[in-house]
């Protein structure tokens, strides 16, 4: 007679245990609340007739975890990652065991591996040094903090609109230092094999209706001619020859001045030629221009024309001689609809095809591979009746860079951002789903393990199948409704009191029977 009340007390006590555990974890990140589920108890008679049986109480059927979505709250840690939707993080313990969790509070260990507070490593797909995700067996994700290797420019593309209303420049020939000889100039940073930047200047000269000549120049010899000329200022032979020349000028004897000028021109030119010889990619035309200048110094008339009465004029003349003038690189021909006409360019002599190859010397010598060879195109370039404007010019090179920050995207890809403005994938987090989440075995520390009733883990990337999406710098809070739990606690308390009352009543009835005389 006491069985029903006693089982009710046990059930109410178990319900209070579950409610208390839910309330205790109301602030636990990734916690999933549980619910006590009950079943009534009946004793069957031998003949199978139990319609008059009042039952023998209640039992706890199971403690069911509620895998509903918790609220998403933002944080300041990029390694805080929440799951918005289905799925579990897959982690491995230091001993190699596999656990599953919804708690996305992670950190880096000393080796760069992403771990949780228990030291378990989050798993996913690794990435190559080129940023290619290798989708195979999930493994612990380790952040590669190595510098981004520089990439030399090998391709470039100019996309701009050239105003069809532009007129042919009145001043000819083309001179990069005279903007009246060209219609438009653009600049593009390109990089050598060591990641050193170089400025590639492109000039556009309209030569006829629908026809434009393209000239290019690098920041090589032309922009650094003064550096080459400075070689004469540090070369011992050139310094001595300059001093002798200045002494001759002060002496006033013209034959002596002329011979001293010749000697100085020879010494300064030789010093600059030595610099030129060490520069990869110097063209034969540039060397010939220099040789013609100081090689003809034996002619006093040439020296007088170059030097005059100013000894610095020798340096200036030599500097100009070894400058790398912009060279004509291509001819662009447009059709009557403003698009590039590859057919018309192929009929040029020599034929003009796209892309064309640029060979650029590197100066000063950076120790990189030289010269730069760049395949250059004009895909997207037009000639319309609107103002000339640069739309997009691109090239595939970049300098080295160190890792500054990283964050996981909605698809689980961890994207690293580098000091050179580039970014690349460092890995991809995977999520795991089960046919029966309720069958997972709780392990504590916000973790579960696979069991025979949960089904096998289904591994996939976030955003596919039943997997939710990830959100960086956020956490999923507990799905416990504190208000509802407090109400449930009051209900469980009343149930406990009521079952106590049934036992008390049964005791009074039994006492009455015992007291019968």
**Spans of all domains in the chain:** 3-67+483-514, 72-144+408-414+423-476, 155-220+325-395, 225-321
Q: Give the CA radius of gyration of the chain.
A: 42
- Does CATH place domain 155-220+325-395 in 3.40.50.300? no
User: Which range has the worst mean pLDDT, 161-170, 227-236, 368-377, 400-409?
Assistant: 227-236
pLDDT single digits (tens) 82-133: 999 999 999 999 999 999 999 999 999 999 999 999 999 999 999 998 889 9
pLDDT single digits (tens) 457-466: 999 999 998 9
The yes-or-no verdict on residue 181 having pLDDT over 60 is yes
Conformational region of residue 455, where left means phi above 0, alpha means psi within -120 to 50, and beta covers everything else = left
Question: Which stretch, 6-10, 226-230, 247-251, 418-422, has highest mean pLDDT?
Answer: 418-422
Distance CA 473, CA 73 (A): 9
Q: Where are the beta strands (DSSP E) in 326-402?
A: 327-333, 356-360, 372-377, 389-395
pTM value is 0.69
Q: Calculate the alpha carbon distances from 331 to 176, 208, 240, 382, 384 in Å.
A: 17, 11, 49, 14, 17
Alpha carbon dihedral 192, 197, 198, 201, in 10-degree steps, equals 120
Question: Which stretch, 32-46, 269-283, 330-344, has highest mean pLDDT?
Answer: 330-344
Residue 444 exposed, middle or buried by CB count within 10 Å (0-12, 13-18, 19+):
exposed
Select from 375, 332, 358, 377 the least CA-distant residue to 158. Answer: 377
């Amino acid at each position: 007679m006491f069985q029903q009340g006693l089982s009710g007390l046990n059930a109410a006590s178990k319900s209070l245990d579950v409610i208390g555990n839910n309330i205790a974890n109301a602030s636990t990140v990734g916690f999933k609340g549980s619910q006590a589920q009950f079943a009534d108890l009946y004793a069957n008679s031998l003949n199978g007739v139990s319609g008059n049986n009042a039952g023998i109480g209640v039992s706890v059927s199971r403690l069911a975890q509620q895998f509903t979505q918790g609220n998403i709250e933002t944080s300041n840690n990029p390694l805080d990652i929440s799951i918005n939707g289905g799925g579990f993080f897959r982690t491995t313990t230091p001993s190699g065991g596999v656990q599953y969790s919804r708690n996305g509070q992670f950190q880096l260990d000393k080796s760069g591996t992403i771990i949780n507070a228990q030291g378990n490593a989050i798993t996913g797909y690794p990435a190559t040094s080129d940023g290619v995700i290798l989708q195979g067996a999930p493994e612990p994700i380790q952040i590669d903090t190595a510098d981004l290797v520089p990439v030399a420019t090998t391709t470039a593309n100019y996309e701009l609109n050239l105003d069809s209303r532009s007129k042919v420049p009145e001043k000819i020939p083309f001179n990069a230092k005279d903007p009246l000889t060209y219609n438009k100039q653009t600049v593009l940073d390109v990089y050598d094999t060591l990641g050193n930047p170089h400025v590639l200047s492109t000039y556009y000269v309209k030569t006829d209706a629908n026809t434009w000549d393209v000239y290019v120049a690098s920041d090589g010899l032309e922009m650094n001619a003064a550096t080459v000329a400075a070689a004469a200022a540090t070369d011992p032979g050139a310094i001595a020859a300059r001093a002798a020349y200045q002494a001759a000028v002060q002496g006033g004897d013209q034959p002596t001045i002329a011979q001293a000028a010749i000697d100085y021109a020879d010494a300064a030119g030789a010093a600059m030629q030595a610099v030129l010889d060490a520069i990869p990619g110097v063209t034969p035309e540039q060397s010939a221009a220099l040789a013609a200048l100081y090689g003809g110094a034996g002619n006093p008339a040439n020296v007088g024309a170059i030097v005059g009465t100013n000894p610095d004029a020798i340096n200036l003349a030599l500097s100009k001689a070894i400058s790398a003038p912009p060279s004509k690189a291509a001819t662009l021909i447009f059709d009557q609809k403003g698009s590039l006409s590859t057919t018309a360019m192929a009929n040029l002599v020599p034929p003009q095809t796209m892309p064309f190859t640029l060979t650029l010397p590197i100066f000063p010598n950076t120790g990189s591979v030289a010269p730069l060879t760049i395949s250059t195109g004009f895909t997207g370039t037009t000639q319309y009746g609107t103002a000339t404007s640069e739309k997009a010019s691109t090239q595939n090179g970049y300098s080295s860079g160190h890792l500054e920050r990283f964050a996981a995207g909605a698809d689980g890809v961890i994207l690293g951002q580098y000091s050179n403005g580039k970014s690349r994938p460092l890995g991809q987090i995977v999520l795991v789903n089960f046919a029966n989440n309720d069958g997972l075995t709780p392990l504590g520390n916000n973790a579960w393990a696979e069991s025979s009733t949960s089904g096998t883990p289904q591994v996939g990337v976030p955003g596919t199948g039943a997997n939710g999406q990830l959100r960086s710098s956020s956490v999923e809070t507990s799905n416990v409704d504190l208000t509802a739990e407090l109400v449930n606690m009051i209900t469980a308390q009343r149930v406990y009191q009521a079952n106590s009352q049934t036992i008390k009543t049964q005791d009074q009835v039994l006492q009455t029977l015992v007291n019968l005389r």
